[in-house]
Amino acid sequence: MADRKIMTVFGATGALGGSVADIFLTDPTLKSEWTVRAVTRDITKDSAKKLQAAGAEVVTADLNDKSTLVTAMTSASAVFAMTNYWEYMDAAIEIQQGKNIVDAAQAAGVAHLIFTSLPNVTELSKGALPNVYHFDSKAAVEAYARATGIPATFFLPAFFMSNFTPGKGMLRQAVADGVWELAMPVPAAAPLPFFDTGDTGKFVKAAVLHRDELLGKRLLGATEYITFGAVVDGFKKVFPEAGKNARYVQQTHDEYKGQLTKVGMPEVIAQELLENFLLFDQVGYYGGESLSETHSFVEDKLTTWGEFIKNSPKFAGLQ
């Protein structure tokens, strides 16, 4: 079927890329027109084999090796790409990897790059929050892509709902009394744009179906704005017995950083994460920008916090 278009998906065995691969493999509007080329570093792992069984072409590529990226993108009409700051915790490496993606997409003649970006926090905060490297590094790649003139749409994922699941250390049972609590270094009323990583494909679908309208634009990847206090309230509503005494605790900056360094996190990363949360309260994750324009392009229902925790295996067994 030579007339089928190829969607190259980086990170196809992860949360974001996996959602994109899935929707292009299963959505009635997309699967008849598109073939998925799933990019992973290890084609032998079970998740890669599962994608292949579902009909994807599975290939390997290395973000540090531009030639492999060109090969992965050759003949692709669209590309979903992302970088992972946390793999190396080095902004310079992430920026170079992002530039490699952009350069390879240009070399391969890709007609639509959908790049996962984030706001520049140093600029948004007018220099007050200069250490949120995992945001600023992605913003630097976005700026580079815009300067090259490559046809691109930028997907900016909001804060992951999965960050609050048990085991992540945010919403948890307190050691002292066993009550569920969320302890953060911001007021309970601080606004939080919330996002289920499983919805990534819904935004990328919108980007592809509305390509011409969204070239050069940003898609804000969030279901809604809620508050940190409402995260706890939502938990109480879904799990009234387990959550009946659940609470929100506002930590001091030193308390928040101290709990991170206590478990071995470098001071520089603890400061970065602190400023990441201060962004919500002081400036706004997206600088206070409305989600309405993005939502006007997304036709699939987005997942709410209540729906997410009700269906999450991580919360299974709670009443």
**What's the structural domain count of the chain?**
1
- Is pTM beyond 0.75 here? yes
How does strand 152-157 pair with strand 112-116? parallel
DSSP 228-253: HHHHHHHHHHHSTTTTTT-EEEEPPH
For residue 155, pLDDT over 50 is answered with: yes
Instruction: Evaluate whether residue 282 is within a structural domain.
Output: yes
Q: Indicate the pLDDT class of residue 174, thresholds 50, 70 and 90.
A: confident
The pLDDT tens digits for 65-76 are: 999 999 999 999
Helices assigned H by DSSP within the chain: 15-26, 28-31, 46-53, 66-73, 85-88, 91-108, 121-124, 133-148, 200-209, 211-214, 228-238, 253-262, 267-282, 292-295, 305-311
On whether the CB atoms of residues 94 and 138 are closer than 8 A, the answer is yes
Share of the chain above pLDDT 70, in %: 98
Contacts of 33 (CB under 8 A, 6+ apart): 4, 5
Q: Indicate the pLDDT class of residue 319, thresholds 50, 70 and 90.
A: low
The pLDDT tens digits for 249-288 are: 999 999 999 999 999 999 999 999 999 999 999 999 999 9
Domain that holds residue 274: 158-196+222-287+299-319
Q: Find, among 251, 291, 10, 280, the residue nearest to 132 by Cα.
A: 280
Share of the chain above pLDDT 90, in %: 92
d(CA 139, CA 136): 5
Instruction: Evaluate whether residue 309 is within a structural domain.
Output: yes
pLDDT of 316: 85
Instruction: Evaluate whether residue 72 is within a structural domain.
Output: no
Q: Indicate the pLDDT class of residue 1, thresholds 50, 70 and 90.
A: very low
Rg of the chain in Å (alpha carbons): 20
> Which position has the higher pLDDT, 129 or 168?
129
Instruction: Evaluate whether residue 180 is within a structural domain.
Output: yes
Q: Indicate the pLDDT class of residue 168, thresholds 50, 70 and 90.
A: low
Q: Quote the mean pLDDT of the chain.
A: 95
The pLDDT tens digits for 177-228 are: 989 999 999 999 999 999 999 999 999 999 999 999 999 999 999 999 999 9
Angle at Cα 115 formed by Cα 113 and Cα 118, nearest 5°?
A: 155
Instruction: Evaluate whether residue 239 is within a structural domain.
Output: yes
Q: Indicate the pLDDT class of residue 317, thresholds 50, 70 and 90.
A: confident
Instruction: Evaluate whether residue 254 is within a structural domain.
Output: yes
Say how far residue 208 (Cα) sits from the centre of its chain: 18
Instruction: Evaluate whether residue 42 is within a structural domain.
Output: no
Instruction: Evaluate whether residue 163 is within a structural domain.
Output: yes
For residue 22, pLDDT over 60 is answered with: yes
CATH number at residue 235: 3.40.50.720
pLDDT of 318: 82
Q: Indicate the pLDDT class of residue 169, thresholds 50, 70 and 90.
A: low
- 253, burial (CB in 10 Å: exposed 0-12, middle 13-18, buried 19+): middle
Lowest mean pLDDT among 17-26, 165-174, 178-187, 224-233: 165-174
- 25, burial (CB in 10 Å: exposed 0-12, middle 13-18, buried 19+): buried
- Span 8-14, mean pLDDT? 96
